[in-house]
């Protein structure tokens, strides 16, 4: 389909999002959006310190302490700033995102290994901008505000060290014309709301990333670069930028010397060609190399694949094949998405004894889809732990079900624990009662799902 073709609003509102067979595309290195320079990303340090309240006073304190530490040199080498960094490939030439004091490697390693640390990660699924969703944010004066979409989950998002959102559809902005299925484009104010809710990482490798071609990608990435440089946007790079980002950067989050790499790929692009390799595609050679480098640069590796069969809760053969590859590569956590329904969570153990937690699908966060099961998604919660010896592991994993609520006056998402039958009665799907949703979650998530707490929680 030509990228200029747009469906009517009725078509976009009623047609299900569908997976299309995608031709094999050329292999390209993993592309991600380059983090801005240190001088323009003061908030980036604050948002990544791991403090649950992301406090402005703490930000100032850390900034002052960091400046003092750099001046003094901290000769014994025990100090390190808690901040995300970008790891470049062999050809990269950009300065590290945050300058760290020169230290003796052995001394620094001993110091960080002696500091037990946890990193709490959360992720929500597809933000799928059908017209009913983007129209819900239109104000009387023609502006947009989407804070309502995240209002009921933002406290928990902000409490995480690292919060990830799957921005399924392109945020090319109103200048390109808004549209829904099958060629999506949404308002950039959705991104503003995601940042205000506390998200730190935006996933941009999806089957809809090329819906508006390179113009759409460029417009969205310019928005993130200029409006929110503190946010990591991974999975695609801007082929139209004056100085295109290196295509082999790897995003690494760091807290107290505990480093976690996050990678993002998609199975395909709905048949669109990507000759410049702007979007990170699942390719075995590339994935294995990226994971190898990620293991060198970080203590643990998280992969967020856009994969699977739409409206199917269980994994298909391709997902199982990729999960085996991720396991062989030493990946610690897989946070999957794309099927538009919530899937099970499993632990997998390799022949070498390595254990990986795999979320097959966290489902939709918000959409205008037309089936009750598409209204149930989840918030994945994972706690990573480094002990006093420096050994790292997944300490626990959880899934907290979510319900997309659509009524004539509003569209938002609730935790299932907070969703009432009174709310259901006013929604587009009155059959999605609390009891119906609990039955679905128990069926998908299995015996470990706790109905009373509306949560799957497993401690390893």
What pLDDT was estimated at residue 408?
A: 84
What is the biggest distance separating any 2 CA atoms in the chain, rounded to whole angstroms?
66
Q: Taking the domains of the chain in order of start, what are their residue ranges? A: 26-35+115-459
Residues 55 and 295: their CA atoms lie apart, in Å, by: 31
Q: Are 336 and 343 in contact (CB under 8 A)?
A: yes
- Stretches where the chain sits below pLDDT 50 are 1-86, 88-113
Rounded to whole angstroms, what are the CA distances from 393 to 28, 74, 300, 357? 31, 30, 8, 10
3-state secondary structure of 260: strand
Span 363-400, pLDDT tens digits:
999 999 999 999 999 999 999 999 999 999 999 999 99
What pLDDT was estimated at residue 103?
A: 39
Burial classification of residue 281, based on how many CB atoms lie within 10 Å of its CB (0-12 exposed, 13-18 middle, 19 or more buried): buried
Span 417-441, pLDDT tens digits:
999 999 999 999 999 999 999 999 9
pTM to 2 decimal places: 0.79
User: Domain 26-35+115-459 classified CATH 3.60.21.10?
Assistant: yes
What pLDDT was estimated at residue 98?
A: 35
3-state secondary structure of 341: coil
Task: Please name which of 212, 227, 228 lies closest in space to residue 174, comparing C-alpha atoms.
Answer: 212
What pLDDT was estimated at residue 236?
A: 96
What pLDDT was estimated at residue 195?
A: 99
Phi, psi (deg, nearest 5) at residue 117: -145, 145
Task: Please name which of 43, 459, 50, 46 lies closest in space to residue 259, comparing C-alpha atoms.
Answer: 50
Token duo for residue 325: 């590859």
Token duo for residue 89: 């490939």
3-state secondary structure of 170: coil
What pLDDT was estimated at residue 245?
A: 67
What pLDDT was estimated at residue 246?
A: 61
């Amino acid at each position: 389909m030509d990228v200029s073709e747009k469906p009517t609003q009725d078509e976009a509102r009623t047609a299900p999002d569908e997976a299309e067979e995608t031709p094999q595309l050329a292999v390209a290195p993993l592309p991600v959006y380059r983090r801005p320079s240190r001088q323009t990303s003061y908030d980036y340090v604050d948002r990544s310190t791991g403090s649950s309240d992301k406090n402005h006073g703490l930000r100032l304190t850390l900034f002052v302490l960091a400046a003092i530490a750099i001046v003094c040199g901290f000769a014994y080498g025990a100090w390190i700033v808690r901040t995300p960094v970008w790891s470049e490939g062999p050809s990269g030439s950009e300065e590290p995102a945050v300058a760290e004091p020169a230290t003796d490697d052995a001394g620094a390693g001993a110091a960080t290994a002696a500091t037990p640390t946890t990193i709490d990660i959360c992720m929500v699924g597809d933000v799928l901008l059908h017209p009913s969703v983007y129209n819900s944010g239109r104000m009387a004066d023609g502006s947009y505000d989407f804070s309502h979409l995240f209002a009921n989950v933002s406290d928990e998002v902000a409490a995480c060290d690292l919060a990830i959102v799957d921005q399924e559809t392109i945020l090319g902005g109103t200048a390109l014309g808004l549209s829904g299925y099958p060629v999506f484009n949404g308002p950039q104010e959705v991104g503003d709301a995601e940042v205000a809710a506390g998200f730190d990482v935006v996933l941009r490798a999806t089957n809809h990333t090329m819906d508006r071609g390179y113009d759409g990608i460029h417009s969205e990435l310019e928005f993130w670069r200029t409006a929110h440089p503190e946010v990591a946007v991974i999975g695609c790079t801007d082929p139209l930028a004056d100085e295109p980002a290196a295509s082999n950067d790897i995003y690494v989050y760091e807290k107290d010397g505990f480093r976690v790499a996050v990678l993002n790929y998609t199975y395909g692009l709905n048949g669109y060609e990507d000759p410049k390799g702007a979007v990170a595609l699942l390719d075995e050679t590339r994935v294995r190399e990226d994971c190898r480098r990620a293991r060198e640069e970080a203590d643990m590796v998280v992969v967020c694949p856009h994969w699977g069969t739409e409206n199917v809760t269980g994994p298909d053969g391709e997902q199982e094949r990729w999960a085996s590859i991720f396991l062989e590569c030493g990946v610690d956590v897989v946070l999957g998405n794309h099927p538009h329904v919530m899937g099970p969570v499993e632990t997998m153990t390799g022949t070498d004894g390595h254990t990986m937690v795999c979320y097959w699908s966290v489902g939709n966060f918000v959409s205008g889809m037309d089936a009750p099961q598409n209204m149930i998604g989840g918030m994945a919660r994972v706690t990573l732990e480094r002990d006093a010896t420096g050994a790292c592991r997944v300490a626990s994993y959880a899934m907290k079900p979510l319900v997309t609520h659509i009524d004539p006056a509003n569209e938002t998402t609730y935790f299932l624990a907070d969703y009432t039958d009174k709310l259901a009665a006013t929604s587009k799907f009155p059959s999605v009662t609390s009891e119906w949703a609990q039955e679905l979650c128990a069926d998908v998530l299995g015996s470990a799902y706790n109905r009373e707490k509306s949560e799957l929680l497993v401690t390893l």
